[in-house]
Amino acid sequence: QQAYVDKLNKALEKHPELYGKSLYDILSNLDDMPEDIMADLVNQGGGVYNHEFYWSILGKGCNRPVAEIADAIERDFGSFEEFKEKFKQCGISTFGSGWAWLVSDKDGKLEIMSTKDQSSP
């Protein structure tokens, strides 16, 4: 992960006006970012963000979701076991590098999606 950070910082040196922005803000507003570092923002910034997010949500000793997320998974996938199978298949079917994501739409309906390389939903 340090390689992503180092390469992102190197790219940002070209545009110090971005130093005060969070990585979330940068990735959420890619259309407004400088074209000459766009690939680095997506690839290196996405690598940093996705890995940090992944490590931050790993549970310790909990094998099943609880509370609202458990209810939403059962509502939208039928069961936790069905969700796990669909999520696994999404990851397995991603060609090359990428990520499998559990996301919700604006109405709160859960969906499974994949992104290529270091892209985020």
CATH code of the domain covering residue 49: 1.10.287.990
Alpha-carbon gap, residue 103 to 113, rounded angstroms? 7
Q: What is the number of domains present in the chain?
A: 2
Partner residues linked to 42 by β-bridges:
none
Q: Are residues 50 and 9 in the same domain?
A: yes
121 assigned to some structural domain:
no
pTM of the model: 0.79
User: What is the pLDDT at residue 14?
Assistant: 97
Q: Are residues 53 and 80 in the same domain?
A: no
Phi and psi torsions of 114, nearest 5° = -125, 155
User: What is the pLDDT at residue 58?
Assistant: 80
Q: Are residues 45 and 83 in the same domain?
A: no
User: What is the pLDDT at residue 121?
Assistant: 87
Q: Are residues 10 and 45 in the same domain?
A: yes
The pLDDT averaged over each successive group of 10 residues in the chain (121 residues) is 94 96 96 97 95 86 84 98 97 93 96 94 87
Range of the domain at 112: 67-116
Closest CA to 49 of 98, 116, 118: 118
